[in-house]
Amino acid sequence: MARKTNSQGFSLIVGIVIVLVVAAVGLGGWYVWDKNKKDDNANKSDKTSQNEGEDPYEGWKTATLTSPQLTFRYPADWAVTAAADDKNIEVKSPTSSGRYFAISLVAGKSQDVNLNFLGTGPGTTISNLTIDDQALYLVAQTAGNDGAVTGFGLATTPGSTNTSFGIVDSQKTNNVTMVASLTPVTPTADDDGAEYDMEIYTSHPSYQDVLKVFESLVGDLPE
Protein backbone atom coordinates (compact mmCIF):
# COMPACT_ATOMS: atom_id res chain seq x y z
CA MET A 1 0.00 0.00 0.00
CA ALA A 2 1.39 3.45 -0.95
CA ARG A 3 2.11 5.90 1.93
CA LYS A 4 0.54 9.36 1.79
CA THR A 5 2.81 12.45 2.10
CA ASN A 6 1.78 15.27 4.40
CA SER A 7 2.31 18.09 1.86
CA GLN A 8 0.70 20.71 4.07
CA GLY A 9 3.13 20.07 6.93
CA PHE A 10 6.12 20.18 4.57
CA SER A 11 4.98 23.48 3.04
CA LEU A 12 4.58 24.96 6.52
CA ILE A 13 8.12 23.96 7.48
CA VAL A 14 9.50 25.49 4.25
CA GLY A 15 7.59 28.70 4.93
CA ILE A 16 8.98 28.93 8.46
CA VAL A 17 12.52 28.37 7.19
CA ILE A 18 12.10 31.10 4.57
CA VAL A 19 10.79 33.54 7.20
CA LEU A 20 13.73 32.77 9.49
CA VAL A 21 16.24 33.25 6.67
CA VAL A 22 14.69 36.57 5.66
CA ALA A 23 14.65 37.73 9.28
CA ALA A 24 18.29 36.73 9.74
CA VAL A 25 19.35 38.57 6.60
CA GLY A 26 17.39 41.65 7.67
CA LEU A 27 18.84 41.57 11.16
CA GLY A 28 22.36 41.19 9.78
CA GLY A 29 21.84 44.10 7.39
CA TRP A 30 20.50 46.32 10.19
CA TYR A 31 23.48 45.42 12.39
CA VAL A 32 25.97 46.35 9.65
CA TRP A 33 24.12 49.63 8.92
CA ASP A 34 23.94 50.53 12.61
CA LYS A 35 27.64 49.78 13.16
CA ASN A 36 28.68 51.81 10.13
CA LYS A 37 26.54 54.74 11.28
CA LYS A 38 28.10 54.66 14.74
CA ASP A 39 31.60 54.45 13.27
CA ASP A 40 30.84 57.36 10.93
CA ASN A 41 29.53 59.49 13.82
CA ALA A 42 32.58 58.61 15.88
CA ASN A 43 34.90 59.62 13.02
CA LYS A 44 33.04 62.92 12.61
CA SER A 45 33.28 63.55 16.34
CA ASP A 46 37.02 62.83 16.32
CA LYS A 47 37.56 65.16 13.36
CA THR A 48 35.51 67.91 15.02
CA SER A 49 37.51 67.55 18.22
CA GLN A 50 40.75 67.68 16.25
CA ASN A 51 39.64 70.78 14.32
CA GLU A 52 38.54 72.52 17.52
CA GLY A 53 41.92 71.80 19.05
CA GLU A 54 43.93 73.02 16.06
CA ASP A 55 45.88 76.26 16.36
CA PRO A 56 45.27 78.34 13.20
CA TYR A 57 48.56 80.11 13.94
CA GLU A 58 50.68 77.03 14.54
CA GLY A 59 54.32 77.81 13.72
CA TRP A 60 53.71 81.57 13.64
CA LYS A 61 55.62 84.06 15.78
CA THR A 62 54.36 86.77 18.12
CA ALA A 63 55.05 90.52 18.04
CA THR A 64 54.37 92.58 21.16
CA LEU A 65 53.95 96.21 22.15
CA THR A 66 54.33 96.88 25.85
CA SER A 67 52.51 100.20 26.22
CA PRO A 68 49.69 99.61 25.68
CA GLN A 69 50.01 95.82 25.86
CA LEU A 70 49.18 94.58 22.35
CA THR A 71 50.23 91.48 20.43
CA PHE A 72 49.68 89.98 17.01
CA ARG A 73 50.88 86.84 15.23
CA TYR A 74 52.82 86.71 11.97
CA PRO A 75 54.18 83.90 9.75
CA ALA A 76 57.60 82.52 10.61
CA ASP A 77 59.00 83.36 7.16
CA TRP A 78 58.19 87.07 7.54
CA ALA A 79 60.95 89.49 8.55
CA VAL A 80 60.80 91.88 11.50
CA THR A 81 61.77 95.49 10.91
CA ALA A 82 63.82 96.74 13.85
CA ALA A 83 61.59 98.91 16.05
CA ALA A 84 62.82 102.24 17.34
CA ASP A 85 61.02 101.64 20.65
CA ASP A 86 58.36 99.47 22.28
CA LYS A 87 55.55 101.48 20.69
CA ASN A 88 56.32 100.57 17.09
CA ILE A 89 56.43 97.14 15.44
CA GLU A 90 56.67 96.35 11.73
CA VAL A 91 56.86 93.00 9.96
CA LYS A 92 57.34 92.29 6.27
CA SER A 93 56.11 89.46 4.08
CA PRO A 94 58.24 87.68 1.46
CA THR A 95 58.51 89.55 -1.84
CA SER A 96 56.44 88.55 -4.85
CA SER A 97 56.40 90.33 -8.24
CA GLY A 98 58.66 92.99 -6.76
CA ARG A 99 56.31 93.85 -3.88
CA TYR A 100 55.89 92.87 -0.24
CA PHE A 101 53.36 93.60 2.49
CA ALA A 102 54.52 95.69 5.43
CA ILE A 103 52.33 95.60 8.54
CA SER A 104 52.95 98.12 11.30
CA LEU A 105 51.37 98.46 14.72
CA VAL A 106 52.06 101.82 16.36
CA ALA A 107 50.87 103.44 19.59
CA GLY A 108 51.46 106.91 20.93
CA LYS A 109 50.62 110.57 20.53
CA SER A 110 49.06 111.70 17.27
CA GLN A 111 52.35 112.91 15.84
CA ASP A 112 53.96 109.55 16.60
CA VAL A 113 51.52 107.29 14.75
CA ASN A 114 50.57 106.95 11.09
CA LEU A 115 48.44 110.06 10.63
CA ASN A 116 47.11 108.80 7.29
CA PHE A 117 45.36 106.05 9.25
CA LEU A 118 44.27 108.02 12.32
CA GLY A 119 41.14 109.98 11.55
CA THR A 120 38.50 109.85 8.85
CA GLY A 121 38.89 108.88 5.21
CA PRO A 122 37.18 106.94 2.43
CA GLY A 123 37.40 103.17 2.62
CA THR A 124 35.93 99.77 1.81
CA THR A 125 35.40 97.08 4.45
CA ILE A 126 37.47 93.95 3.98
CA SER A 127 36.51 92.07 7.14
CA ASN A 128 34.80 92.49 10.51
CA LEU A 129 36.93 92.00 13.61
CA THR A 130 36.20 91.49 17.30
CA ILE A 131 39.14 92.35 19.53
CA ASP A 132 38.69 92.18 23.29
CA ASP A 133 34.92 92.44 22.78
CA GLN A 134 35.32 95.56 20.63
CA ALA A 135 33.74 95.58 17.18
CA LEU A 136 36.45 96.74 14.79
CA TYR A 137 37.03 96.56 11.04
CA LEU A 138 39.80 95.98 8.55
CA VAL A 139 39.23 98.61 5.86
CA ALA A 140 40.97 99.30 2.57
CA GLN A 141 41.67 103.01 2.42
CA THR A 142 40.99 104.44 -1.03
CA ALA A 143 42.17 107.64 -2.66
CA GLY A 144 41.01 109.69 -5.64
CA ASN A 145 38.28 108.86 -8.10
CA ASP A 146 39.96 105.70 -9.41
CA GLY A 147 39.56 103.86 -6.10
CA ALA A 148 43.25 103.01 -5.81
CA VAL A 149 44.13 101.46 -2.45
CA THR A 150 46.70 103.25 -0.30
CA GLY A 151 46.69 100.49 2.31
CA PHE A 152 44.63 98.49 4.80
CA GLY A 153 43.92 99.99 8.20
CA LEU A 154 42.30 99.07 11.51
CA ALA A 155 39.10 101.11 11.87
CA THR A 156 36.37 101.66 14.44
CA THR A 157 33.66 102.02 11.77
CA PRO A 158 32.91 100.06 8.56
CA GLY A 159 34.16 101.35 5.24
CA SER A 160 32.40 104.48 4.01
CA THR A 161 33.20 107.96 2.75
CA ASN A 162 34.08 108.83 6.35
CA THR A 163 35.67 105.73 7.82
CA SER A 164 37.14 106.26 11.30
CA PHE A 165 40.63 104.80 10.93
CA GLY A 166 42.76 104.00 13.95
CA ILE A 167 41.70 104.01 17.60
CA VAL A 168 41.80 107.35 19.40
CA ASP A 169 42.76 107.32 23.08
CA SER A 170 40.73 109.79 25.10
CA GLN A 171 43.94 110.82 26.87
CA LYS A 172 45.65 111.34 23.47
CA THR A 173 48.74 109.43 24.63
CA ASN A 174 48.17 105.90 23.31
CA ASN A 175 46.38 106.28 20.00
CA VAL A 176 46.73 103.06 17.99
CA THR A 177 47.09 102.50 14.26
CA MET A 178 47.61 99.16 12.54
CA VAL A 179 48.34 99.40 8.84
CA ALA A 180 49.18 97.01 6.01
CA SER A 181 50.73 98.48 2.87
CA LEU A 182 51.82 96.83 -0.34
CA THR A 183 55.34 98.16 -0.90
CA PRO A 184 57.57 97.96 -3.99
CA VAL A 185 61.17 96.84 -3.48
CA THR A 186 62.28 99.15 -6.28
CA PRO A 187 59.60 101.73 -7.12
CA THR A 188 58.86 102.30 -10.80
CA ALA A 189 56.47 104.55 -12.70
CA ASP A 190 53.88 101.75 -12.57
CA ASP A 191 53.82 101.89 -8.77
CA ASP A 192 52.15 105.33 -8.80
CA GLY A 193 53.14 106.24 -5.26
CA ALA A 194 52.46 102.69 -4.01
CA GLU A 195 48.73 103.00 -4.75
CA TYR A 196 47.34 99.87 -6.41
CA ASP A 197 44.07 98.40 -7.55
CA MET A 198 42.48 96.08 -5.04
CA GLU A 199 43.13 93.19 -7.43
CA ILE A 200 46.90 93.66 -7.04
CA TYR A 201 46.52 93.51 -3.26
CA THR A 202 44.37 90.37 -3.30
CA SER A 203 46.55 88.58 -5.85
CA HIS A 204 49.68 88.84 -3.70
CA PRO A 205 50.53 85.39 -2.18
CA SER A 206 50.61 86.89 1.34
CA TYR A 207 47.15 88.48 1.15
CA GLN A 208 45.37 85.79 3.20
CA ASP A 209 48.15 85.88 5.80
CA VAL A 210 47.66 89.64 6.10
CA LEU A 211 44.01 89.08 7.01
CA LYS A 212 45.01 86.53 9.64
CA VAL A 213 47.57 88.91 11.14
CA PHE A 214 44.86 91.50 11.77
CA GLU A 215 42.51 88.85 13.12
CA SER A 216 45.19 87.76 15.62
CA LEU A 217 45.47 91.18 17.31
CA VAL A 218 44.73 91.06 21.04
CA GLY A 219 45.46 93.26 24.01
CA ASP A 220 44.66 96.46 25.84
CA LEU A 221 43.12 98.66 23.16
CA PRO A 222 42.04 102.19 24.12
CA GLU A 223 38.31 102.78 24.33
- Domain boundary among the residues 12, 29, 54 is at 54
Q: How far is CA 1 from CA 4, 7, 8, 140, 213, in A?
A: 10, 18, 21, 107, 101
Could you tell me if 11 and 120 lie in one domain? no
Q: Are residues 68 and 140 in the same domain?
A: yes
Does residue 88 sit in the same domain as residue 167?
yes
Q: Comparing C-alpha atoms, which of 88, 92, 96, 87 is closest to residue 74?
A: 92
Q: In the predicted model, is pLDDT for residue 160 greater than 70? A: yes
pLDDT digits (tens, 9 = 90+) for 95-129: 999 999 999 999 988 888 998 899 999 999 999 99
161, 207 contact by CB (below 8 A): no
Q: Are residues 92 and 180 in the same domain?
A: yes
Specify whether 114 is located in the same domain as 211.
Answer: yes
With bands split at pLDDT 50, 70 and 90, how would you rate the model's confidence at 188? low
Query: What SS3 state is found at 105?
Result: strand
pLDDT band at 25 (very low <50, low <70, confident <90, very high): low
List of residues 6+ apart from 211 with CB closer than 8 A: 126, 127, 138
Q: Residue 152 — very low, low, confident or very high, per pLDDT cuts 50/70/90?
A: very high
pLDDT at residue 1, rounded to an integer: 47
User: CATH no. for residue 83?
Assistant: 3.40.1000
Residues 87, 43 share a domain: no
Residue 113 in contact with residue 165, Cβ under 8 Å?
no
What value, to the nearest 5°, has the Cα angle with vertex 169 and ends 168 and 173?
115
- 46/109 same-domain check: no
Confidence tier at 51 by pLDDT (50, 70, 90): low
Q: Higher model confidence: residue 181 or residue 43?
A: 181
| CA torsion, ordered 66, 72, 76, 81, to nearest 10 deg | -50
Tell if the pTM clears 0.95, that is, is over it: no
Tally the domains of the chain: 2
Residue 99 and residue 191 share a domain: yes
Shared domain for 123 and 26, answered yes or no, is no
Same domain, 205 and 100: yes
DSSP, res 143: E
Which domain covers residue 107, as residue numbers?
A: 61-219
Assess whether 151 and 167 both reside in one domain.
Answer: yes
